[in-house]
Amino acid sequence: MNPPVYLKPWLHARPAVARILLQFIMLSGVFQFGVFALSQNFVVSYLGAQPEDVTLALQMTYIGILVMLPIQFRFQRYFQPRNYLIVVISLGIFLAAACMVVQDLILFFIIRFLQGIVVCGMAACMLVHITAYLTPAHRQVTPSVLLYGTVLANAILIGMIASRVTLTGDFQHLYYYIILFLVTSLLIVIFAFKNYTERRPYPLWQIDWAGAVFFVLSAIAMAYCLIYGSKYEWFADSRIKMSAVALIFGLILFLSREITFKRPLIQVTVLKNPKMWLGLMLLGTYYGMKESINLLFGYTSTILTWSPEQTMQLGLLNIAGLTICITISTICLVRGFTNLPMYIVSGFGLLFIYHIWIYLVMTNDLSFEDLMIPFFLQGAASGIMFIPMVIFIVKTATPKAGYTGLVIGAYARFISLLNASAGFFNLQLYFNQQYKESFLGKITVLDGPISERLDKLFEFYSTRGFAASQASALANSALAKTLSMQTQLLTIRAIFMTLSIIAALIMVTALIIIILSAILKSRQMQV
């Protein structure tokens, strides 16, 4: 039996055009997720928020995606796609317009959560429709490549638009572009999708709404705890204690619900499979390590004082590495090469080279050319191993589990990104403090180079017309700024060395597994 056709005949007869238009709709949905990922300073100044508030706003969108993902697969089997997409995209346009006028932080969090629901509604729906226009050999791999490739690249792509907008006008104008994308997608849906398609709708009864509520409460509590923990001295603050308690109770209620409910959001029984845990651990480690690139984005803007446009040019190199290698890994997967350890060795090997490269070259005056290859290698590492790991997790889940593997992989991404955010923040605090104390223990006013540096700074400010007391204060301030910069550079180097060691250990472990498997296979052939 042929699957139902949702597109009008003029488009259905042109699969290549259909794929492009459906991918555009997916992209316009995903853009709402990373709309200010690389323009946080503008959001902070506009809303009067703290950097942690912006991070929480990003995670609120992801929580909306996660809670909607399992429900979305039920919705799109019940509602007519054209009507469903018109409602979802219209809601996205309304929420984007609301972001332009809202100034209350709590209301902004709620809007971001609802935008996550819209992102999921558009992206997951397009994932299913794109699959219908692929050959059977490509249906298992290509949709994941399109979706996750778009997700991985969207922060850079939307960041390029944001940098251009903020250089030439008000940051709020960025939402005009988001609305333009969404309106274009709405027109595509109106003119490309059939009004009605004959099919048997899947009933919506017994959706696990209580489980969805428990998940949202747990996820928000986890995000709050990890994002604000360091700022509020962790459990010394009552707010962190309350969020931790809410997380524990919410998680217990959610897991109990998933185990006992007849039609749960996810089949938690798949976690009994050790291979699932292996895939999730690898995926979580990869997600955590790849976030180190944000340290370099911060380095280029704060220490090198590059414009957002220059930083985005490096981002393009990152996307180039991602695109080239994700194409290579897709071709290999389609042709049946599914040896996960080989992808792990290649991917974590590139991550090792990327991290050790930055460790060796990090100074306070790197040029664009110095960072070109590392940024390309980081994207290449993601392109090589990300899709194989996702497919490994999806395949590990039993067929009866349906979309559970995909959903649990998304859960792993959420947790690992939160851990990476908190981890990098605390690593920077630790190494900064360590190097600062080391510097201060060695610096005295009698130290020759330090004294000479202070004298030169004092003379510089004195010749600019400052009084002696002012020149002395400015000289001390300039020296402190220099020491702070050097401390940050050493901190980045220490973090990258730590991550290079982790990448090397994973790479060597996977290589040992490959060698042992080859030895066992050769012995079996001899027998």
Phi, psi of 61 (to 5 degrees): -65, -40
Alpha carbons 408 and 16: distance in angstroms, whole number: 31
Average pLDDT estimate for 65-77: 81
- Of the candidates 172, 215, 283, the one whose C-alpha atom is nearest the C-alpha of residue 506 is 283
pLDDT surpassing 60 at residue 169? no
The tally of domains found in the chain comes to: 3
Alpha carbons 174 and 31: distance in angstroms, whole number: 11
Share of the chain above pLDDT 70, in %: 74
pTM, two decimals, is 0.80
Residues 260-270: pLDDT tens digits?
877 777 777 77
Least confidently predicted of 27-31, 157-161, 198-202, 296-300: 157-161
Could you tell me if 189 and 72 lie in one domain? yes
Could you tell me if 340 and 365 lie in one domain? yes
As beta bridge partners, residue 193 has: 7
Whether residue 450 lies inside any domain: the answer is: no
Q: What is the pLDDT of residue 1?
A: 45
Q: What is the pLDDT of residue 356?
A: 92
Between the two ends of the chain, the Cα-to-Cα distance in Å is 47
Phi, psi of 375 (to 5 degrees): -65, -40
Could you tell me if 170 and 28 lie in one domain? yes
Average pLDDT estimate for 278-291: 82
Could you tell me if 192 and 279 lie in one domain? no
Alpha carbons 282 and 512: distance in angstroms, whole number: 16
**Greater model confidence, 493 or 518:** 493
Could you tell me if 239 and 164 lie in one domain? no
**Greater model confidence, 358 or 430:** 358
CA distances from 522 to 339, 359, 468, 517 (A): 17, 40, 81, 9
Whether residue 301 lies inside any domain: the answer is: yes
Q: What is the pLDDT of residue 353?
A: 92
DSSP label of 193: B
Could you tell me if 150 and 229 lie in one domain? no
Q: Which of 262, 285, 306 is the last residue in one of the domains? A: 262
Locate 44 and state its tokens: 């902070």
Locate 159 and state its tokens: 């960041």
- How confident is the prediction for the chain on average, in pLDDT? 77
Could you tell me if 169 and 224 lie in one domain? no
Residues 232-259: pLDDT tens digits?
777 888 888 888 888 898 888 888 887 8
pLDDT surpassing 70 at residue 92? yes
Top mean pLDDT of 47-61, 236-250, 458-472 is at 236-250
3-state helix, strand and coil shares in percent for the chain, rounded to the nearest 5: 80, 0, 20
List the CATH number of the domain containing 124.
1.20.1250.20
Locate 222 and state its tokens: 């986890």
Phi, psi of 48 (to 5 degrees): 65, 35
Whether residue 434 lies inside any domain: the answer is: no
522: containing domain: 270-426+500-527
Residues 293-344: pLDDT tens digits?
878 877 887 777 777 677 777 878 888 888 888 888 878 877 777 777 888 8
Average pLDDT estimate for 98-112: 83
- Of the candidates 506, 510, 275, 507, the one whose C-alpha atom is nearest the C-alpha of residue 394 is 275
